[in-house]
Each structure stands twice: as structure tokens, then as C-alpha cells.
Amino acid sequence: MDDPRDELERTRELLHVVMAQRGEADAFRWLVDRYEQRLLYFIRRSVADADRALDVLQEVWITVFRRIATLRTPEAFRVWLYRIARDKTIDQLRGDRRHKETHGESIDEATVDTAENSEGIERIENVKLIHRLLNRLTPAHREIVTLRFLEQMALDDIAAVVGCSIGTVKSRLHYAMRRLQEGIEEQNHV
């Protein structure tokens, strides 16, 4: 059974999407505030350079702003938003690859951004470990894990975001979780 608070949040989001579709700036700002950090995290799992990731994020919000009125099903906003973010991220990576091939430059490794919190150093070390392990995964596996566990998306929604079948999502998720578990076990034996 769904938590009533989750239902309330979904209803609140739906209301803001509809108001943003009607051109209400405050409603659009609410959506940006709700998703900006989560989207940036999602983008940073693929785009290593922080400035480029912010550029992608900006392109995502520009696209959403221009197209939100055409979204036929406001209930699908989150999936639609992440699909745009994924497409913009792929465009950036293709551009980086073309630039690298043209100019012979290498693309920087992803950096791990973690902030200290009140739960102490051990928690920070665990977070760093998870980030390192996520960065070992292929981009396709990393995005599945991010959407499933950080965005808590259903498998069918993930399939819609990444443009593949639910079976492929399940397979990638299984493989990714196995790789993460192997990495944790490897770390524990060091």
C-alpha cells in the first residue's frame, strides 16, 4: 500500500506540472528546485567534467521549458524529464568524443563529490566507495542503478527513460548489482 505522503507528493508535482504547462513561472521554478540536484547527480554519473555537466543540466531545463506545454501526460513528467536529461547527456558525450578524436585530447576521469555529514567518517568512506564502484560500471548499467535506487523509479519507467525493454532493464540491474556486490566484497577483503 502506498504511503499517503507519497501520493500527496505525486499530486503536488502533477499540479505544478499542469500549472507550468500553463506558463506559471513559480510552478516551473518549483519543478526545477525539486529536480535540479537529482538531475545533476544523474548527469554527473556520465559527464565527468563538472562544468560540462552543468551545461547539460542547463540545456535540459531550457528544453523542458520550451516543450513542457506539449507534454500530453503530465503524470509522465518525471520519466519525460529524465529522458531529456539522458538524451542531452548522450549528445554531450558524443560531442566530447568528436572533440577528442579531432584534437587528440583525453576526457578526464569522473571526480567524486561528497560532503561530510553528521554520521561521521565511516559513512563518508562508504559513500566514496559506492561512488567509485558506480564509476566502474558501464554508463548503461550506472544509469539503471541511479534511476532505480536514487530516483526509485519503477522498472517500466526506467525502460521508458533509457529506451529499452523491461527485460533489458532487469538484466542490466542484475549485472550492475552483482558487480557492485563484488566490489564491496573485494574492498572488505583488502
The CATH code for residues 1-109 is 1.10.1740.10
For the four alpha carbons of 101, 103, 104 and 107, in that order, the dihedral sign comes to negative
Query: Does residue 7 have a pLDDT over 70?
Result: yes
CA nearest neighbour of 161 among 190, 66, 151: 151
Whether pTM exceeds 0.85? no
Q: For the segment 103-151, what is each residue's pLDDT rounded down to a tens digit?
A: 444 333 333 333 333 344 455 566 677 778 888 888 889 999 989 988 8
Per-position b or e across 146-184, b if 16+ CB within 10 A of its CB:
bbbeebebebebbbbbbeeeeeebeebbeebeebbeebe
Q: What angle do helix axes 50-67 and 25-44 make, rounded to 10 degrees?
A: 140
Residue type, 112: V
Task: For CATH 1.10.1740.10, list the domain ranges present in the chain.
Answer: 1-109
pLDDT digits (tens, 9 = 90+) for 24-67: 999 999 999 999 999 999 999 888 899 999 999 999 999 999 99
Confidence band of 178 (pLDDT split at 50, 70, 90): very high
User: Which residue intervals of the chain bear CATH 1.10.10.10?
Assistant: 118-190
**Given this model, what pLDDT does residue 97 score?**
61
Q: pLDDT for 71-90, tens place per residue?
A: 999 999 999 999 999 999 99
Using alpha carbons, list the distances in angstroms from residue 61 to 67, 93, 96, 173, 182.
10, 18, 21, 28, 37
* Structure confidence at residue 150 (pLDDT): 81
CATH (one of 3.40.1160.10, 1.10.10.10, 3.40.50.970, 3.40.50.800) for 118-190: 1.10.10.10
| Residue 120 CA: distances (Å) to CA of 8, 137, 150, 164, 170 | 33, 27, 21, 40, 34
